[in-house]
Structure 1
Amino acid sequence: MNTALAVWVVLLLAAVAANLPFVNERPFLVGPRRVPVKSVAWRLLELAVYGALVIAAGRLMEGAIGQAAPQGWEFYAVLLCLFLTLAFPGFVWRYLRRHRG
């Protein structure tokens, strides 16, 4: 896999994963539909798990391309900020938009 392609795949995966907790009512996409809507805490838990999965996918792709570089806390702080920024459209759609009915 090309390095540039791997970067775009991880960014696209992160954008989709960051918005998943806000666009559905099923826990982790496989559980039963929650009749009273999921709480914010549940959505944040899903966001953290999806973030960890994106990190794991990125590390696997990096290892497949070449040697995986060690990362410090700064990398994870920037990744957290990026992941929360990518989650903003889903947050707006769920909590700030007027829903009919």
Structure 2
Amino acid sequence: MDQSASIWVVLIVAAVAANLPFLSERVFFVGPPRHPKGLGWRLLEWLLLFGLVLGLGMGLEARLGQRHPQGWEFYAVAACLFATLAFPGFVWRYLRRHRP
């Protein structure tokens, strides 16, 4: 896989993963359904998925060549990007009116 394909894979996986906690009522996607699942569970799942996406990106970068060391700024920007990608799921869950 070349570099541009790796970038697109990470971006698409990040966009899907950022929205998953807001679309599922199951705890960690395999546990028992909770109605309603609280925001705390959703944020914990979101942080777990953020870590998994970072791991995927680091793995793909290591596979392409030498990994570059990152400072705290990189992780802060990555978290902000992940939060921005999660906006559609957040709007769907908390800001949209759900009709009974």
Q: Same fold (TM over 0.5)?
A: yes
**What RMSD over aligned residues (CA atoms) do the two structures have, in Å?**
0.6
Match of 1:33 in 2: 33
Task: Tell me the residue number matched to 1:92.
Answer: 91
How many residues are paired up? 100
- Runs of 4+ aligned residues of structure 1 deviating over 6 Å after TM superposition are none
Structure 1 runs not aligned, ≥5 long: none
Aligned counterparts of 1:68 and 1:59: Cα–Cα separation in 2: 7
Distance across 1 between alignment mates of 2:72 and 2:22 = 27
Structure 1 residue 29: Cα displacement: 1.2
- CA distance in 2 between partners of 1:37 and 1:7 (Å): 35
Partner of 2:76: 77
Q: Which runs of 5+ in 2 are unaligned?
A: none
Give the superposition deviation at 1:32. 1.4
How far did 1:59 drift?
0.4
